[in-house]
Amino acid sequence: MNQLTFENPVFSCYALAAALLIVKMMSQGWITVFRMFKVNGGFRYPEDARKSLANPDPSPGQLLPNEYVERSRRMHANDVENIPLFLVA
């Protein structure tokens, strides 16, 4: 029996876990964007706080760190750091 087939229960479990973790890692960036728009702040760069369709009423306070957004950024940084190592190991 070939080890890298879905007939192997260990490989099936790994493939499922890998797929779920990749989806989680890819969606975490969009969750961070959602949180930034929800609180209308937590922007990292001055360009983000300029007047635009997405930000019709900019203020300097939008560039201050927001714990709600920063938590999501830390989760994403943790994912980017650890999930590829899991996939390789």
**How many degrees, rounded to 5, is the angle at CA 32 between CA 55 and CA 72?**
135
Q: Distance between CA 11 and CA 5 in Å, rounded?
A: 7
What pLDDT is stored for residue 1 in this prediction?
56
Distance between CA atoms of residues 59 and 40, nearest Å: 10
Residue 18: the pLDDT is 97
Question: Is the CA virtual torsion 58, 64, 67, 72 positive or negative?
Answer: positive
Residues whose CB is less than 8 angstroms from the CB of residue 36 and which lie 6 or more positions away in sequence, other chains included = 42, 43, 48, 66, 69
- Reading the chain (89 residues) residue by residue, the pLDDT tens digits are 588 889 999 999 999 999 999 999 999 999 999 999 999 999 999 998 899 888 888 999 999 999 999 999 999 999 999 999 999 98
